[in-house]
């Protein structure tokens, strides 16, 4: 979907540039060969994008989408964070039909993160629907803006330096 939007914007920009070149009283370019090269280059870029898009779509259709959120929770706060996740986040995520599964990991060895949350979605549309549903569930559970702000102050600080990864699985390569 991103490639289609990017290509549409690229084509619109190319047409706009072309019209600007020909509507200006003072030519922006010297000679027609530059425009010819620009259009050929544009065609090659668009062809490459569509080629990549077909391969990407084929790969994306092969498996589910996963998000992995790595959160740097200080070691002395991990138990509080896990308790919060169990009592607040987990019940809301359980109500979210677009989240197929979810796992939470704590750091054993490796990079700087201390907590990793991995969630599974059917596809990109499922991921977007899950985010929308999560927002609705949060608003329903905490309708009071003051409570939302308190939660944000207490737990939002951990997200300041978090990292996210969105990945696809390949069932045909899975044990």
Contact 116, 105 (CB under 8 A): yes
**Residue 3 CB burial class (10 angstroms; 0-12, 13-18, ≥19):** middle
Range in 7-16, 123-132, 162-171 the model is least confident about: 7-16
Angle in degrees, CA 146, 148, 84, rounded to 5: 130
- Of 11-15, 82-86, 110-114, 126-130, the one with minimum mean pLDDT is 11-15
Predicted confidence (pLDDT) at residue 113 exceeds the cutoff of 80: no
Confidence band, pLDDT 50/70/90 cuts, at residue 94 = very high
Closest C-alpha to 88, from 132, 146, 152: 152
Q: Sign of the CA dihedral 30, 32, 33, 35?
A: positive
Distance CA 130, CA 133 (A): 5
Q: Across residues 150-170, what is the average pLDDT?
A: 85
- Cβ atoms < 10 Å from Cβ of 131: 15
Average pLDDT over every residue of 92-113: 88
CB atoms within 10 A of CB 73: 20
CA–CA separation, 154 and 173 (whole Å): 41
What is the rounded average pLDDT for all residues in the chain?
76
Average pLDDT over residues 149-165: 83
User: What pLDDT is recorded for position 96?
Assistant: 95
pTM: 0.62
Q: Which two tokens stand for residue 119?
A: 């969630």
Comparing 19-28, 56-65, 118-127, 161-170, which segment has the lowest mean pLDDT? Answer: 19-28
Q: Mapping DSSP to helix (H, G, I), strand (E, B) and coil, where does residue 112 land?
A: coil
Q: How far apart are CA 135 and CA 142, in angstroms?
A: 10
pLDDT confidence of residue 78: 87
Give me the pLDDT at residue 110, please. 72
Quick one: pLDDT at residue 65? 93
DSSP state of 86: I
The token pair at 37 is 């090269």
Give the Cα separation of 173 and 14 in Å (integer).
41
Q: How many CB atoms lie within 10 A of CB 86?
A: 11
Least confident of 55-69, 89-103, 152-166: 55-69
Average pLDDT over residues 114-121: 92
Can you say whether the dihedral through the CA atoms of 31, 35, 40, 41 is positive or negative?
Answer: positive
């Amino acid at each position: 979907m991103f490639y289609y939007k990017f290509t549409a914007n690229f084509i619109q920009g190319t047409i706009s540039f072309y019209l600007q070149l020909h509507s200006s009283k003072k030519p922006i370019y010297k000679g027609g060969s530059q425009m010819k090269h620009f259009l050929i280059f544009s065609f090659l870029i668009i062809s490459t994008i569509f080629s990549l898009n077909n391969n990407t779509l084929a790969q994306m259709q092969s498996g589910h989408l996963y998000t992995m959120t790595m959160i740097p929770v200080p070691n002395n706060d991990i138990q509080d964070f896990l308790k919060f996740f169990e009592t607040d986040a987990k019940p809301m995520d359980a109500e979210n039909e677009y989240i197929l599964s979810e796992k939470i990991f704590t750091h054993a060895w490796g990079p700087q993160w201390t907590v990793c949350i991995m969630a599974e979605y059917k596809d990109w549309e499922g991921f977007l629907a899950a985010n929308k549903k999560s927002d609705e569930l949060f608003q329903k559970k905490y309708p009071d803006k003051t409570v939302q702000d308190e939660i944000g102050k207490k737990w939002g600080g951990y997200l300041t330096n978090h990292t996210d990864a969105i990945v696809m699985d390949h069932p045909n390569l899975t044990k």
